Amino acid sequence: MKMLWLSLLTLLMLGQTLVMGLPVQAPDLPTQPNAGPSEADQEFAEEYLRHFYGYQPKSERQKRTADTSEDADWKTGLCDKFQSMQRFFGLPPSGELTLETLAVMKRPRCGLSDVERFGNTIRWKKNTLSYRIAGSNLPISASKVNKVFRAAWKLWSSVAPMEFRKRNRKEADIVISFLNGDHKDGSPFDGKGGILAHAFLPGSGVGGDVHFDADEDWSFNSTGFNLFAVAAHEFGHALGLPHSSDPGAIMYPAYNFASNYELQLSFRDVKDVQHLYGISPNFASLFSKKPPPRTPDKCDPDLSFDAVTELQQEVVFFKDRFMWRKHPQSDETGITLINSLWSDSVPPFLDAVYENVERNEVVFFKGHQYWMLSQLKLKEGFPRNISDLGFPSRIKSVDAALHFRNDRHTVFFTGHECWKYNEQQMMMGGSPTLIEQVWPGIPAPIDAAVLYEGFVHFFKGNIQYKYDANSKRVVSTSPANDLLECKKHHNEILTERR
């Protein structure tokens, strides 16, 4: 555990989440590298696990009589709950409150539990549902709110044979309201940030109702919280869907809106709602050209990568808008969204990424642009054109980047060529050379490259080439996802069984 607290990356990540203006007090950053979580953070985390993971703390009296060692945490089941939460969010399942775990816990999210399995029986028994927007507490003009809700319902009705009709006065199946603090349903809201909304499963009375925290700064874009994104998620609950650990799913519990990615139901969401209600007659024609996006699976034998980089002690694999972070102390590598770490600063579907350790910068490439981030924040003046690095105008994109920290240079791969960039002088070192001359045995063009445990790993399609730079030869080839320990998460298996 102590090692995990050392990670600068996680410290930075924590800093980032604080910017978002969360209600809970800023976690005390450890003043010494080995300092553990503060008592307040520990309490916050236990409350989080109680609320979202069904943790049942022993009574105070029992606690006092129990021993205070770490074994006690195992006995009370706390570590177990930490692991469930960590697996759900793709974190190393240490069973302890790491800084990164705390940062994820402090992310804005839905108020419903992550572990409740609703089964297949909780659904509406009819296919036309009415909804009503209650009260005068609307954060933005009623017509705009109506429009957003109509669009959010449409996401679901375009894949399942459902119809949603708005009513103005009469009773409705689903009542949608914006409420503050304790609103007498046993689940009080918590002011700005934290819990954004919650909903009730299908049923009579309060069943199907959706509550938004009126204290949030709701918006139609990426300032504050995007109402469309949260509504799409809560409406999923109102239809009977539980949370999904798939970070690509609308039913993922954490707030995930990214302005650079079109909000749509994922393959997982579609499958889940169709499991409850069947398939919309228009589904095939609506989605034949553009099927709902699937979240990449690290065990897919055809998996290829957009980019791979070292990052602090980790190796990070990028694919679409997702990444896997391979931590040296964990043999379970979970999937997360790129924007869970770098927010909206970095686009999805990257071409190349590398870390400049000395300058504490991470550089991302996509098309003719590159983004430089320091301490998880975009540096001023970025994105810039790759021609600023010294590429001639004929070079339209970068396939891969390989950083050599000791020699302070970076090699860029473009098509059949590679370019040596001097990081000290910040200058491209003359004309390019052919990949087949410098890296014999490597098929060009390549997808990605990374230095790992003394070897260069090149990626192309679903194959990786382990390359010994000294003897200048490929020492072995293996599946591209070899380093990701293809062992499915318990949660993923559970979800698949449903």
Active site residues: 234
How far is residue 150's CA from residue 141's CA, in Å, rounded to a whole number? 14
CB of 107 to Ca ion, least distance (A): 12
Q: Which residue is nearest to Ca ion (CB)?
A: 213
Nearer to Ca ion among residue 152 and residue 179 (C-beta) = 179
- Going by their DSSP bridges, the two strands 369-374 and 335-337 should be labelled as unpaired
Question: Could you tell me the end-to-end alpha-carbon distance of the chain, in angstroms, rounded to an integer?
Answer: 34
Yes or no: say if 242 and 116 are a contact pair by the CB < 8 Å rule: yes
CB of 23 to Ca ion, least distance (A): 6
Q: What is the dihedral of CA 67, 73, 75, 79, to 10 degrees?
A: -170
Total of residues contacting Zn ion (CB under 5 A):
2
Choose one: 88-96, 102-110, 138-146, 258-266; the region binding Zn ion (CB under 5 A): 102-110
Which residues of 186-320 form beta strands (DSSP E)? 195-199, 210-213, 218-219, 225-226, 307-311, 314-319
Q: Which of 45, 112, 129, 398 binds Zn ion (CB under 5 A)?
A: 112
Residue 194 in the binding site for Ca ion (CB under 5 A): yes
How far is residue 350's CA from residue 370's CA, in Å, rounded to a whole number? 10
Q: At what angle do helices 78-88 and 39-53 cross, to 10 degrees?
A: 70
Nearer to Ca ion among residue 92 and residue 194 (C-beta) = 194
Nearer to Ca ion among residue 190 and residue 485 (C-beta) = 190
List the interface residues with Ca ion, window 36-65 (CB under 5 A): none
Q: Which helix (H) or strand (E) holds 452?
A: strand 448-452
**What 3 state SS string does 314-339 have?**
EEEEEECCEEEEECCCCCCCCEEECH
Nearer to Ca ion among residue 195 and residue 362 (C-beta) = 195
Quick check: helix, strand or coil at residue 35? coil
| 296 φ/ψ angles, rounded to the nearest 5 degrees | -60, 150
Half-sphere exposure of 481 (CA within 13 A, CB side): 20
Residue 110 in the binding site for Zn ion (CB under 5 A): yes
Residue 110, contacted partner among Zn ion, Ca ion, none, CB below 5-8 A by kind: Zn ion
Residue 92, contacted partner among Ca ion, Zn ion, none, CB below 5-8 A by kind: none
CB of 377 to Zn ion, least distance (A): 29
DSSP lists the bridge partners of residue 335 as 324
Residue 190 in the binding site for Ca ion (CB under 5 A): yes
DSSP 172-189: -SEEEEEE-S--SSS---
Total of residues contacting Ca ion (CB under 5 A):
4
Choose one: 2-10, 103-111, 293-301, 479-487; the region binding Zn ion (CB under 5 A): 103-111
Q: At what angle do helices 142-157 and 227-238 cross, to 10 degrees?
A: 50
Choose one: 106-114, 132-140, 341-349, 399-407; the region binding Zn ion (CB under 5 A): 106-114
Residue 232 in the binding site for Zn ion (CB under 5 A): no
Residue 213 in the binding site for Ca ion (CB under 5 A): yes
How far is residue 480's CA from residue 298's CA, in Å, rounded to a whole number? 10
Residue 249 in the binding site for Zn ion (CB under 5 A): no
Choose one: 115-123, 207-215, 273-281, 406-414; the region binding Ca ion (CB under 5 A): 207-215
Indicate the burial class of 199 (C-beta count within 10 angstroms; 0-12, 13-18, 19 or more): buried
Nearer to Ca ion among residue 45 and residue 456 (C-beta) = 45
Residue 485, contacted partner among Zn ion, Ca ion, none, CB below 5-8 A by kind: none
User: What mask of x and - would describe binding to Zn ion in positions 131 to 170, judged by CB under 5 A?
Assistant: ----------------------------------------
Residue 112, contacted partner among Zn ion, Ca ion, none, CB below 5-8 A by kind: Zn ion
Nearer to Ca ion among residue 194 and residue 208 (C-beta) = 194
Closest CA to 361 of 371, 346, 347: 371
Nearer to Zn ion among residue 186 and residue 454 (C-beta) = 186
Contact residues: Ca ion, CB under 5 A = 190, 194-195, 213
Binding site for Zn ion (CB under 5 A): 110, 112
